[in-house]
Amino acid sequence: MSLSREEIRNTLKQWNLAWNNHDLDEVMRLFHDEILFDNWTGGKARGKEALRKAWSPWFANHGGFRFTEEETFIDEKEQKVLYRWLLEWPSFEKGYEGRPEKRRGIDVFHFRDGKIIKKLTYSKTTVDIDGERVSLLVPGK
């Protein structure tokens, strides 16, 4: 089952709303059971339950976040999306905890059977915290 351009656009609206409502169940509903998630730190999760397990602490511990869609490219034929976003939240960077942070990144989505089967996340390695450019600390590095 392929999605039309409008159906993909509507799925992305649901996606953004679910994240901004901090609704992990609704986010997970949009994923294919065989989802592959690869994030900017090199962390990976394969399968819906593994991803839920990986994201549950993040949703529980990182309140106050908000994503804004900045730009989206949809390839209806290939069922792929390039989704550029801005994340605003209280910073968790060492020495900046709780200060307003802005982080930019891109998600590459692949769809299969009307669901997101692949989510590849890329983030800038610097963020804006209270107007100051700060280099990110990569977990585990």
Q: Output the pTM of the full model.
A: 0.88
**Could you give all domains of the chain from N- to C-terminal order, each with its CATH number?**
5-135 (3.10.450.50)
- β partners of residue 99: none
What is the separation, in whole angstroms, between the first and last Cα of the chain? 41
| Residue closest to 106 by CA, chosen among 91, 89, 121 | 121
Q: What is the CA radius of gyration of the chain?
A: 15
Residue 136, pLDDT score:
76
What are the residue ranges in the chain where pLDDT is below 70? 137-141
Residue 137, pLDDT score:
66
Residue 120, pLDDT score:
97
